Amino acid sequence: MRTLEEGGDRMATSIMGMAQVTASQMRLFLRTVNPEAPDYSELYLDIGLRYGVRGDIAFAQSIHETGYWRFTGTVRPVQNNFAGLGSVSADVQGATFATPAFGIEAQIQHLYGYATSAPLPAGFKVVDPRFGILESAKLRGVAPTWEQLNGRWAVPGTNYGQQILRLWQEMLQVKTPEPIVQPPTPSPVAGEPFTDLDEVLWAKQLIKQAAELGLVQGYEDGSYRPKQPLTRAELAVILTKLREKLRE
């Protein structure tokens, strides 16, 4: 969502709003640079949606802060701190969170604190250790756009918001692979219990009889896979069923 900055005619990008980048685009963009990066794309979109914050741009912020999840700065991966919360200098590691989800929520909650002065959404508790600082310093709602985070989230951070938005715009251009369309599963011919018995014509009738007796069964796709090796467990099942039939 693009909005006009108050007192100017330059288009700016709201912190609040709906995501435009998909989880697949986010994941592919990140792993093109760092194939070993964890996949938190769905978490960003889900938690962002709950707060009304653009989860896709928050994800771009984390890419910027962590160096594509390579953590080349002060903060370490075990901290689950993907936005440098509390890391106010090169000597301060910042906050640590028990899980990635808590770390991501704290980041999005901090963005929410800057973007609006409204109370937290119903049912949510403060997880951002610096949320109280925003309130005591009267910074709630002072930065409704990403560009207005310049010099606030990071210092000096002259182009902090613009750097994040450039990453986000690159993510928007990511082309995800077309889904592979699977051929339809063949349906068994009328009177035939399985679709692939012609592979073993010599045993076809015997397999059909075994199926009619309930001794063997096929797979969900309608096949029997007659050339697949029989396991000891499957043999035990067949022998048990045969014994039960003989007792009838």
53 in any annotated domain: yes
Residue 187 lies in a domain: no
The answer to the question of residue 192 being in a domain is: no
Which residues are 3's β-sheet partners? 12
Q: 165 with 99, same domain?
A: yes
The answer to the question of residue 135 being in a domain is: yes
Side-chain-side CA neighbours of 189 within 13 Å: the count stands at 6
Position 200 confidence tier, pLDDT thresholds 50, 70, 90: confident
* Least confident among 43-47, 69-73, 118-122, 215-219: 215-219
Instruction: Give a yes or no: residue 12 inside a domain.
Output: yes
180: in domain: no
Mean pLDDT, range 102-124, rounded to an integer: 97
Q: pLDDT: is 92 or 45 the higher one? A: 45
Q: What is the dihedral of CA 133, 150, 109, 61, to 10 degrees?
A: -140
Answer yes or no: do 166 and 205 share one domain: no
Q: What is the pTM of this model?
A: 0.69
pLDDT band at 207 (very low <50, low <70, confident <90, very high): confident
| Residues 22 and 136 reside in one and the same domain | yes
Residue 79, helix vs strand vs coil: helix
Q: Where are any strands of DSSP class E within 9-54? A: 11-13
Q: Are residues 116 and 225 in the same domain?
A: no
Do the domain assignments include residue 186? no
Q: Name the token pair of 98.
A: 């028990």
139 and 221 share one domain: no
Residue 2 β-bridge partners? 13
Matching residue, tokens 């005619």: 9
Q: For residue 18, what is the domain's CATH number?
A: 1.10.530.10
Which of 172, 187, 216 delimits the end of a domain?
Answer: 172
Residues 150, 217 within the same domain: no
pLDDT for res 190: 59
Q: Please state the domain count of the chain.
A: 2
**185 belongs to a structural domain:** no
Report d(CA 78, CA 177) in Å as an integer: 32
| pLDDT tier, 224 (very low <50, low <70, confident <90, very high otherwise) | confident
* 198 neighbors 168 (Cβ within 8 angstroms): no
Q: What is the spatial distance between Cα 77 and Cα 103, in angstroms, rounded to a whole number?
A: 11
Indicate whether 47 and 154 sit together in one domain: yes
Question: What is the residue range of 148's domain?
Answer: 2-172
